[in-house]
Chains A and B, each alone.
Chain A
Amino acid sequence: MPAVHAAPAARGFVCNSGQSVPSTNAVKADGGQVPVIRWTSNTFDAAGWSPERRCQEVSNRFNIYLQQGRLAYITTGRINNLPVICTAAKNGGPCDGLLFTLKPGQDATATLQNLLEIRVKARGPLNESNGRLYVSIDDLMTSAQANVSDVRSPSLTDSTSQPTSTLW
């Protein structure tokens, strides 16, 4: 039996680049914003992916998946031999929508656990880049150039600003 989901608190996701560190924020119905991922690393600037750009790209994906009702099942997977965090159509199902990519060898399960905790757990935000989620997601990001033709990513079809060969 498919799960029947109540309306989520978030009505969308935005990239808030107005502060010193850009962040992907969930926007609640009351207009309040909850940071989900803070983008601190400049590691990928040389590849054309500044923190602001990564923030925009992944926020856009979160936002589209939310509107499409595809965030109910988030899982881990591998695409082009890289670990990824992605959406699935059902519990235990395969990846069908890329959220972001991790570096080779990184623990996708732990990253997923952290992401799911942000969904509902009432812990405080993380403000520094010393290894706990949020930022650790960012630290795990890779700028690997890869073909993502096997993944239905909204950025590939809905965003005209991103090269389709870049996997995030």
Chain B
Amino acid sequence: MSFVCRVSIASLLIVIINCPDIASQPTISTNNLASIVIADSSRRQAVTVLLHNVNGEHLGSGVLVAAPAGGRWIVSNRHVVAGEATICVVTAKGANQPALVLPEQKKSHQALDLALIWLPTSPPEEAVVAEITDQSNISEMLPMVVATGYPAELSSPAKGSQYSERSGLLVPLLKQPLQEGLDLAYTATVEKGMSGGGVFIGSALIGINSAHRDPLWPGQWKDFEGKEVEPVLHNKLHIVSLGLSTATIMGAIKMSQPPGDKEIQQLSTFNCRKIDHLETKGSRKDAHTSSLTEKTGN
């Protein structure tokens, strides 16, 4: 596979010319492929949400993953919602609703960097949730992934947040989970604020973001048992983003129950709408994806 094939979806033409796997499929025209890519992006955006607290602080991102009776499960990171029992969820359509953060779960002796959030909904609202897949179902060696989320405006005060997608490769770097259960490594550039956003292959969710590449200052990565990782792996971890896989996420959801009526009723006093500066503002794609969008717009 060429470099272009691996890292670029910027140009459909280049992809098709340089990727024999794609070019050799006569049933997929340029327009159809573009439609597929756009549809995937739309699905990713539809299930990616922005999380903020009642004071309007941009906490991070999340993904809608399941829609049982009475509400939806949103997954994010524990470090995103730490200290919050109730948060506000802004969907891609701009709805801004209160949701409950489930108390921290434990796995082994160390907590996962995973938070489950319950967003009560009333029928007959359409249930839009991510298509879930497992890493074990991925046959490709280095599949292209797309990391999604709402990068934070680092200026003060924040001026708003745009949905963003960053493409990269899923790399088989981790034989064992790291601290807090991190078990996905990929080259997509994740920014502050994208924690809890999805990691997708096409429109299928394979995990969520947790840590960005290039730590701000030196430190230590530890494995799930709390031991420092080997120096070679440690240095490799500096150049990848890290996340939690859907296997870990869905396992936690299976063991969880939605909050009771009493807790849900507390949300009625929680006003998310008074915060307007964190409303989502359309979408922003990285260079690869935006180029693709330009082409498909012709």
A122–B228 CB distance below 8 A = no
> Which residues of chain B are within 8 angstroms of A152 by Cβ–Cβ distance?
none
A119–B154 CB distance below 8 A = no
Tell me whether B214 is interfacial, beta carbon within 8 Å: yes
Tell me whether B44 is interfacial, beta carbon within 8 Å: no
Which of B15-23, B66-74, B232-240 interfaces with chain A?
A: B232-240
Please, how many residues of chain B have a CB less than 8 angstroms from a CB on the other chain? Answer: 45
B214: nearest chain-A partner, CB-CB: A9
Tell me whether B86 is interfacial, beta carbon within 8 Å: no
A7: nearest chain-B partner, CB-CB: B238
Tell me whether A163 is interfacial, beta carbon within 8 Å: no
Tell me whether B216 is interfacial, beta carbon within 8 Å: yes
User: A38–B156 Cα gap in the complex (Å)?
Assistant: 10
A72–B156 CB distance below 8 A = no
Q: Nearest Cβ in chain A — how far from B262, in angstroms? A: 25
A122–B212 CB distance below 8 A = yes
**B156 CB contact (under 8 Å) in A20, A26, A91:** A20
A117–B238 CB distance below 8 A = no
Would A121 and B210 be within 8 Å (CB), given that A8-B215, A9-B216 are in contact? yes
**B60 CB contact (under 8 Å) in A8, A32, A120, A124:** A124
A69: nearest chain-B partner, CB-CB: B218
CB 8 Å contact bits of A9-53 with B (1 = contact, 0 = none): 110000000011101001010001111101000000000000000
CB 8 Å contact bits of B218-230 with A (1 = contact, 0 = none): 1110000000100
> Which residues of chain A are within 8 angstroms of B231 by Cβ–Cβ distance?
1, 3-4
Q: Main SS of chain B's interface residues?
A: loop
> Which residues of chain A are within 8 angstroms of B53 by Cβ–Cβ distance?
130
User: A69–B217 Cα gap in the complex (Å)?
Assistant: 9
User: A132–B217 Cα gap in the complex (Å)?
Assistant: 21
B218–A8 CB distance below 8 A = yes
Tell me whether B191 is interfacial, beta carbon within 8 Å: yes
Q: Nearest Cβ in chain A — how far from B221, in angstroms? A: 9
Q: Nearest Cβ in chain B — how far from A30, in angstroms? A: 10
Tell me whether B91 is interfacial, beta carbon within 8 Å: no
CB 8 Å contact bits of B44-88 with A (1 = contact, 0 = none): 000000000101111110000000000000000101101100000
Would A122 and B192 be within 8 Å (CB), given that A128-B56, A131-B83 are in contact? yes
Q: Nearest Cβ in chain B — how far from A3, in angstroms? A: 6
B219: nearest chain-A partner, CB-CB: A119
B192–A34 CB distance below 8 A = yes
> Which residues of chain A are within 8 angstroms of B210 by Cβ–Cβ distance?
121-122
Tell me whether B170 is interfacial, beta carbon within 8 Å: no
Q: Which of B's residues lie within 8 Å of A, judged by CB? A: 53, 55-60, 77, 79-80, 82-83, 113, 149-150, 152, 154-158, 190-195, 209-212, 214-220, 228, 231, 234-235, 238-239, 241
Q: Which of A's residues lie within 8 Å of B, judged by CB? A: 1, 3-10, 19-21, 23, 26, 28, 32-36, 38, 62, 66, 69, 71-74, 91, 116-128, 130-132
Task: Report 29 cross-chain contacts, Cβ distance below 8 Å, ordered by A residue.
Answer: A3-B228, A4-B231, A5-B234, A8-B216, A9-B214, A10-B216, A20-B156, A26-B217, A38-B156, A69-B218, A71-B219, A72-B217, A72-B218, A72-B220, A73-B220, A116-B219, A117-B79, A119-B219, A122-B191, A122-B192, A122-B194, A122-B209, A123-B193, A125-B156, A125-B192, A128-B56, A128-B57, A131-B83, A132-B82
